[in-house]
Amino acid sequence: MEMLGEMEKESGDSKTNLVTYTAVIQKFCEKDQSMDALRILDRMREFGCKPNSITRRVLIKGLCGEGNLGEAYKVIDKVAGECVLYDECYSSLLLALWQIETLRRQRWLILARGLRPDGAASSTVLRRLCSVGRWLDAFCL
């Protein structure tokens, strides 16, 4: 964090960028400190750096993994429209929820809202539904 602070003060080659912020966010999420990663997202945006799909995906997955689903929705509201579409954000959320089997009901709520998952999310969901014999659910999706 000290190094990030120093980099934010710099104006030359060691200036912070999207990769720097995303790497810090990813490390926080890997250490189950996604709420701290949220603060990095805010700092990132303050310095005029917009999160990309990797930043969004890492943060949403980290928040969901720690059970902070409400915060994941807030992240979607923060970044959707700024750099990515809502459907892309909800696709990331859907994939994160699929990886966490304890939140089954929530993933169906996303689909019930009429949001369309992207190709990667749809493929993952269809594959998992078919692997557990839920053919009708796969067909409806």
What are 73-115's pLDDT values in tens digits?
Answer: 888 888 776 666 777 777 777 777 766 664 455 555 556 566 6
Report the distance separating Cα 7 and Cα 16, nearest Å: 6
Query: Residues 3-58: pLDDT tens digits?
Result: 877 787 776 566 788 888 889 999 999 999 999 998 998 888 888 888 888 888 89
Q: What is this structure's pTM?
A: 0.65
Could you identify the residue written with the tokens 């990515």?
A: 84
Phi/psi of residue 66, nearest 5 degrees: -95, 5
Report residue 17 as tokens. Answer: 């960028």
Report the distance separating Cα 119 and Cα 121, nearest Å: 6
Report the distance separating Cα 81 and Cα 40, nearest Å: 19
Report residue 140 as tokens. Answer: 């409806």
Query: Among residues 89, 39, 99, 92, which one has the least CA distance to residue 65?
Result: 99
